[in-house]
């Protein structure tokens, strides 16, 4: 089983629950409709990777930077950043046919995470950004999210048991695109103006 780091300790998530279409600008950039209820999907533990790939089984991968939370005792106990990697062409084909997204979203290596920092409350002014080769590509903050962190936890808990170590990915802002081999990805998480963490990946 794959692990992530929470306050320096190794934790093994059972599953990753992802929120789709949670930023209006991202919905617009992909030409999607705003869903009438929260859009949820799951990645398995086997999706977790430390290496950022530009392709998987010859399919081009697209990046989506997301604010993420760790669940402990049915509460959001730690915060970090993640990359939700997507086979966009495959996803488009599946959506057109009305089929599930697992082939486009839940493949091995489709989720990368920074270390997580312990928090006492999820409803704080977190903001984040992604730079690629020194250029700012994505920026997001809690105020732009359609569904806030506490509401997401409550919605999931209505129909699914959450185990300690499970990860919630809260959706991506505008600015998604293809992963190019050789590119340097740097994500930064802030609380107000304070830098909480930074993570770097080099795409292959």
Summarised one tens digit per residue, pLDDT across range 139-162 is 999 999 999 999 999 999 999 999
Give pLDDT, residue 147: 96
* Sites in the chain below the pLDDT cut of 50: none
Domain of residue 12, residue span: 4-202
The pLDDT, as a whole number, for residue 33 is 81
Q: Please give the tally of structural domains in the chain.
A: 1
Radius of gyration of the chain (CA): 16
The residues pairing with 42 across neighbouring beta strands, listed in sequence order, are 17
Tens digit of pLDDT for each residue in 102-137? Answer: 999 999 999 999 999 999 988 899 999 999 999 999
pLDDT of the residue at 181: 98
Per DSSP, helices labelled H in the chain are 24-29, 88-96, 102-105, 149-157
Q: What is the pLDDT of residue 92?
A: 94
Q: Is 0.75 topped by the overall pTM?
A: yes
Q: What is the pLDDT of residue 32?
A: 83
CA distance linking residue 112 with residue 195, whole number of Å: 20
CATH of the domain at 179: 3.90.850.10
């Amino acid at each position: 089983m794959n692990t992530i780091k929470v306050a320096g300790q190794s934790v093994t998530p059972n599953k990753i629950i992802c929120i789709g279409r949670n930023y209006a600008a991202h919905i617009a950039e992909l030409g999607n409709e705003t869903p009438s209820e929260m859009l949820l999907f799951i990645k398995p533990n086997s999706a977790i990777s430390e290496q950022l790939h530009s392709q998987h089984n010859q399919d081009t991968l697209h990046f989506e930077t997301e604010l993420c939370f760790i669940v402990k005792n049915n509460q959001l106990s730690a915060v970090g950043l993640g990359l939700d990697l997507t086979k966009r062409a495959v996803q488009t084909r599946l959506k057109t046919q009305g089929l599930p997204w697992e082939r486009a979203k839940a493949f091995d290596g489709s989720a990368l995470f920074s270390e997580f920092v312990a928090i006492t409350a999820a409803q704080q002014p977190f903001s984040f950004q992604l730079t690629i080769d020194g250029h700012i590509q994505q920026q997001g903050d809690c105020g732009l999210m359609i569904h806030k962190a506490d509401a997401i936890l409550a919605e999931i808990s209505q129909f699914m048991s959450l185990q300690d170590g499970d990860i919630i990915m809260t959706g991506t802002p505008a600015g998604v695109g293809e992963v190019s081999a050789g590119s340097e990805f740097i994500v930064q998480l802030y609380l107000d103006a304070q830098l909480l963490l930074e993570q770097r990946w080099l795409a292959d």
